[in-house]
Amino acid sequence: MDRPPALAVENVSFAYGRAKALDQVSFDVAAGKVTILLGPNGAGKTTLFGLITRLFAIPHGRIAILGIDLRTHGAAALTPLGIVFQQQTLDLDLTVRQNLRYFAALRGISPRDADTRISRELTRLEMADRLGDSVRALNSGHRRRVEIARALLHGPSVLLLDEPTVGLDIPTRKALIAHVHQRAREDGVAALWATHLIDEVGDDDPLIILSKGRVVANGRAGDIADASGVGDLDAAFARLTSGAAT
């Protein structure tokens, strides 16, 4: 029997009053891949993440994590999920260690196991030497690294990242993208990376382009660019999202 996709979104629609934010959105996210959710600001990316994380109830359609339906299983379905929110959520007055230990405790991870996991994730992110530093003393890129480490501490099957590189410089953005790809490749994590930045998309990445709440393209990024007939992904994105909010 075939395994279900790590994350399945099926015919999901959502509106704020009369304003439709998502319209019959469907796609899958596979294990071991970083799937890019690309769309202009206002396309519906954050609304979709709100539905996946149960911040909003799902009025129409279905979302499942590892085949477990969010609507029928509630918060229990979110156990395999790791999340990096668009807004930073670390406690600035705690150290890196304290922030990560607190999260680990919420996940039921023992202190000894937590310290092993924290060391592993921070070492992978070249942040092990900042363990005792106050988060307030870190720059934005280092804070993001800590948030990614936190999201991976419990060994999630699905990792959501909502515009995780906003405000960061290009070298930092490239490093974070490379790290998430490595985690997907080596650990089998299914990552969904939301962005409006085309330079964060690789040719081989599974790509979903969202415009005005609708999926306007879904496939390998390089294939979408080739099929557009306009030469590259930048031009394809401009054509597919013409008239969308910016």
Q: What is the pLDDT of residue 213?
A: 96
Asked if residue 163 and residue 110 are part of one domain, the reply reads: no
Asked if residue 200 and residue 230 are part of one domain, the reply reads: yes
221: nearest Cα among 211, 206, 210: 206
CA dihedral 25, 193, 65, 148 (to 10 degrees): -160
- Strand, helix or coil at 9? strand
Position 242 pLDDT exceeds 90: no
> How many independent structural domains does the chain possess?
2
Q: What is the pLDDT of residue 74?
A: 84
Asked if residue 95 and residue 76 are part of one domain, the reply reads: no
Position 241 pLDDT exceeds 50: yes
**What are 220's strand-pairing partners?**
206
Report the pLDDT averaged over residues 26-53.
96
Position 244 pLDDT exceeds 80: no
Position 245 pLDDT exceeds 50: no
Q: Based on C-alpha coordinates, what's the Rg of the chain?
A: 18
- Strand, helix or coil at 29? strand
Query: At CA 16, angle to CA 13 and CA 19, rounded to 5?
Result: 85
70: nearest Cα among 55, 85, 83, 52: 52
Asked if residue 244 and residue 170 are part of one domain, the reply reads: yes
Asked if residue 146 and residue 129 are part of one domain, the reply reads: yes
Report the pLDDT averaged over residues 3-26.
95
- Strand, helix or coil at 208? strand
Give alpha helix (H) positions in 1-110: 45-52, 70-73, 96-106
Q: What is the pLDDT of residue 2?
A: 73
Asked if residue 95 and residue 55 are part of one domain, the reply reads: no
The CATH code of the domain that includes 181 is 3.40.50.300
Report the pLDDT averaged over residues 101-122.
96
Residue with tokens 């959105």: 25
Phi, psi angle pair for 34, to nearest 5°:
-105, 105
Q: What is the pLDDT of residue 1?
A: 55
Position 243 pLDDT exceeds 90: no
Cα–Cα dist 175/141, whole Å = 10
Of 107, 129, 155, the position where a domain reaches its end is 155
**79-92 residue pLDDT tens:** 999 999 988 899 99
**195-205 residue pLDDT tens:** 999 999 999 99
Confidence of residue 228 (pLDDT cuts 50, 70, 90): confident
Residue 207's identity, in one-letter code, is: L
Among left, alpha and beta (phi > 0; psi -120 to 50; other), residue 57 is: beta
**17-32 residue pLDDT tens:** 999 999 999 999 999 9
Of 125, 155, 185, the position where a domain reaches its end is 155
Asked if residue 243 and residue 232 are part of one domain, the reply reads: yes
Position 109 pLDDT exceeds 60: yes
Confidence of residue 75 (pLDDT cuts 50, 70, 90): confident
Domain that holds residue 199: 1-80+157-246
Asked if residue 75 and residue 181 are part of one domain, the reply reads: yes
> In whole numbers, what is the pLDDT of the chain averaged over residues?
94
Sign of the C-alpha dihedral, residues 146, 151, 154, 158? negative
Asked if residue 240 and residue 228 are part of one domain, the reply reads: yes
Q: What is the pLDDT of residue 56?
A: 92
Cα–Cα dist 148/45, whole Å = 19
Least confident of 98-107, 216-225, 231-240: 231-240
pTM of the prediction? 0.94
Cα–Cα dist 19/33, whole Å = 33
Cα–Cα dist 176/110, whole Å = 28
CA dihedral 103, 64, 177, 102 (to 10 degrees): 0
Q: What is the pLDDT of residue 246?
A: 33
Asked if residue 180 and residue 168 are part of one domain, the reply reads: yes
Asked if residue 143 and residue 63 are part of one domain, the reply reads: no
Report the pLDDT averaged over residues 167-185.
95
Asked if residue 171 and residue 122 are part of one domain, the reply reads: no
